[in-house]
Structure 1
Amino acid sequence: MTKRWTNRPDGSNWGEFGADDRIGRVNWITAEKVKQGIAEVREGRTFCLSLPLEYPGGNLLNPRRFPPQLFAVVREGRPNMALPLGLFDPRVTDVSSDDAALLYLQYSTQWDSFAHIGSMFDADGDGKPERVFYNGWRGGSDIPDVEDRGVGEPRLERFPSKGTEALGIHNFARHGLQGRGVLVNLHDECGDARTWVGYDLLMKAMDKQKVEVEQGDMLCFYTGFGEVLMSMGRKPDHHRLENSCAVIDGRDARLRNWITDSKVSCLIADNYAVEGLPAKDAEGSHAMLPLHEHCLFKLGVPLGELWYLSELAAYLKEHKRNRFLLTAPPLNLTGAVGSPSSPIATV
């Protein structure tokens, strides 16, 4: 084990789970926390919490991310889709299909790993900021640089990446993201209008809904954004989306402090980035994504984005509940910065 920093950021928990820690507050999703989630299962009813992978559609929400593409696997020079194998051996009666997909891993319902957002920070104490990620893991080595072959069309083959063993999404997958989920219904407070949710509004909603969180809980924010997105049928209206539904105010210091004190293990929302983008203005040197910086860089709290929470939220409201068993592993893809997920809530 090697301590990778001399200074750690104010308000961070670097080193508290060990010098080589890679999963942050996911460490708090223990066997006991899994049993607490299981104890919330009364009916055995399940809810799919993922958008279809082809949503939101297009690339208006993020010009660097594109919908998935499906391909037929090639079999002896032919596309292997509803392919009679008798073409190759007349004695054979099988008909075969086999396909492949090109995925942008953070296009739809997803998890952000700690390699997604770092910061320029003087972790060495020498007065010079370095590219640093959660727990002092370094950009350029632990999160390797990728050869720059020049700017052109956004084709993945231009910049092949080896990924990051240190902070890749596989670390969450191998731990297992299953435990107790807790939902706050922000749509009940804010409706469909774009509303910046700071500490006061969040506390008001949680008090009214009798929401309590404990160490290791996975906290979900339902805003209604997923319903708005689905209603557009993969043809998103950027102006409408920018002006719809609640977003967390990442600039609110009291809210960030509450996240620290709450000891939640993960933050999840049905909107694009959990926090509002662009964030509110700030003076001086600052993070463009303050909630991402606080959670991914300082605390080791994974962020789940673009989940589909509408049906679960309606059920929980009807039954005056806010807790459930949440099973939400990412892909076990070594080195990836983010990952699609197909979360399941069980009530």
Structure 2
Amino acid sequence: MTERPAYADLPGGDASGVFGPGDALGALNLQTPTAIAHAATLVREGAVFSLNAPVDWVDPPLFSREQVEHHVFTTPRGNLDDWLDRYYLQASSQWDGFLHARRPDGDFHNRLPAAGHGVHVWAARGIAGRAVLLDVGAYLADQGRPLHWRTRAEITAADLEACRAACGVEQRAGDVLLIRTGWASEYERASVAERTAVRADTTGPGLAADDELLAYLWDWGVSALACDNIAVEALPLGPVALHPRLIGLLGVPLGELWWLDELAAHCARDGRYECLLTSAPINLRGGVGSPANALALK
């Protein structure tokens, strides 16, 4: 792989062509065999953490989605089988695919047509590599700046770097960055009325949508980014949104609503904030998003 340009050298923050004119993997190209082999050495005790919420979570569903329905039936041979109705692929722990958010100019990532993208492209390859867990929620609370799950607050590049330094973890190209804000755990503790209110008002903390944040992630060499909140970025959106720039321009897959509490607690106990991460996106041709299907191993 040729050396990537720094973010400052990307015209307009646009990574089109960096990995080739027909590339549909974007930053996932940074998960090289060498990077994946290194990630495998991080599995030392055989601890496995599922980062996936139940299919029917959040409840009630966000935005205009409806609750999934699970049906079980008996086949003519007497076996049980099942299917789902109203199964929204981005309703629970999920990946935003490159069809989910267009570039600011209206094109898709790497200026490919819609037919050139789809989560099936990621599924054919798989997602695997070293993950770095930054428990920003816990770090900011220790600094006297606690995040509130129902209050808009921007997590800056400086916040991420300070948390990374406090964790003592180095940056490596190909890393999957996992950011815990504490939103999911607070939602779990909320009353039914509080949860219902979120359906209409998704205000909450998340990443800042500015060039400093984008430069930080790109220059680090982050191959994918997943958070435990609704939309990765702070809500409501500001005048400039992060999704079109991270997904559309830089080609960084975004994960939302991931369950990171158990992994974060383990990292705090053993002082190791890195692990092997695997994810198997659904093999759906032309899919816009996918359940995360993610595991962390330490």
TM-score scaled by length of structure 2: 0.86
Deviations 1:36-60 (A, max 9, x none): 111100101101101001000123x
Deviations 1:90-141 (A, max 9, x none): xxxx6421111131111000011111111352xxxxxxxxx3111112xxxx
Q: Distance in 2 between matches of 1:114 and 1:243?
A: 24
The correspondence for 2:278, drawn from 327, 332, 341, is: 327
1:66 corresponding residue in structure 2: 66
**AA aligned opposite 1:311:** E
**AA aligned opposite 2:81:** D
The count of corresponding residues between Structure 1 and Structure 2 is 278
**1:133 equivalent in alignment to 2:134:** no
**AA aligned opposite 2:206:** V
**1:204 equivalent in alignment to 2:188:** no
**AA aligned opposite 2:290:** S
1:238 corresponding residue in structure 2: 197
Moved beyond 6 Å, runs of 4+? none
Which protein shows a greater Rg?
A: 1
Which structure carries more relative contact order (alpha carbon 8 Å, separation 6+)?
2
Deviations 1:197-238 (A, max 9, x none): 112222222222223221111001011112122334877243
Is the 1:9–1:298 contact (alpha carbons within 8 Å) kept by the matching residues of 2? no
Q: Distance in 1 between matches of 2:203 and 2:17?
A: 40
Residue 192 of structure 1 deviates from its aligned partner by: 4.5
Is the 2:202–2:236 contact (alpha carbons within 8 Å) kept by the matching residues of 1? no
1:222 corresponding residue in structure 2: 180
Is the 2:129–2:276 contact (alpha carbons within 8 Å) kept by the matching residues of 1? yes
**AA aligned opposite 1:33:** A
Is the 2:103–2:109 contact (alpha carbons within 8 Å) kept by the matching residues of 1? no
1:14 corresponding residue in structure 2: 16
2:37 corresponding residue in structure 1: 35
Q: Distance in 2 between matches of 1:205 and 1:219?
A: 12
1:183 corresponding residue in structure 2: 133
Gap runs ≥5 in structure 2 = 1-9, 141-145
With over 3 angstroms needed to count, the CA separation of the structure-2 counterparts of 1:18 and 1:243, relative to structure 1, is: closer
Residue 249 of structure 1 deviates from its aligned partner by: 1.1
Q: Distance in 2 between matches of 1:328 and 1:233?
A: 31
**1:172 equivalent in alignment to 2:122:** yes
1:49 corresponding residue in structure 2: 51
With over 3 angstroms needed to count, the CA separation of the structure-2 counterparts of 1:25 and 1:120, relative to structure 1, is: closer
Is the 2:230–2:257 contact (alpha carbons within 8 Å) kept by the matching residues of 1? yes
With over 3 angstroms needed to count, the CA separation of the structure-2 counterparts of 1:196 and 1:19, relative to structure 1, is: same
The correspondence for 1:114, drawn from 84, 98, 107, is: 98
Q: Distance in 2 between matches of 1:188 and 1:19?
A: 41
Is the 2:203–2:236 contact (alpha carbons within 8 Å) kept by the matching residues of 1? no
Is the 1:67–1:107 contact (alpha carbons within 8 Å) kept by the matching residues of 2? no
Q: Distance in 1 between matches of 2:192 and 2:59?
A: 4
Identity of aligned residues (%): 32
2:236 corresponding residue in structure 1: 278
